[in-house]
Amino acid sequence: MNFMNEKSSTPSLLRLAAAVFLGLIVGSILFFIAAMVIGSINQLMDMNIPVRMDIAENILSAVLLVIFIVGSIAGFCWKVWVTPPTEEPEDADTEE
């Protein structure tokens, strides 16, 4: 019984955990980039868009952070779900 060769429709838990972890990191980075761009636009045009990196004092920044993180996690989990795992060819050792 070789369970590694069976095709499964659900991805492994390790791949999903990696997608969640990567989604957290990418979502945070995207939020900081968006906050810096909005901050530079605020400064250049003297606008008062209330998005800053201090999410503890600003509810709009916290909502934007959650949107970026949830969107990134959902995107990476979807990609893991639709992409089959890579398999090494079994005859790789015989080619040498």
Which tens digits make up the pLDDT trace of 37-87?
Answer: 887 887 888 777 776 666 666 788 888 899 999 999 999 999 999 988 887
Cα 19 from Cα 1, distance rounded (Å): 30
The reported pTM is 0.70
Residues 63/89, Cβ–Cβ less than 8 Å: no
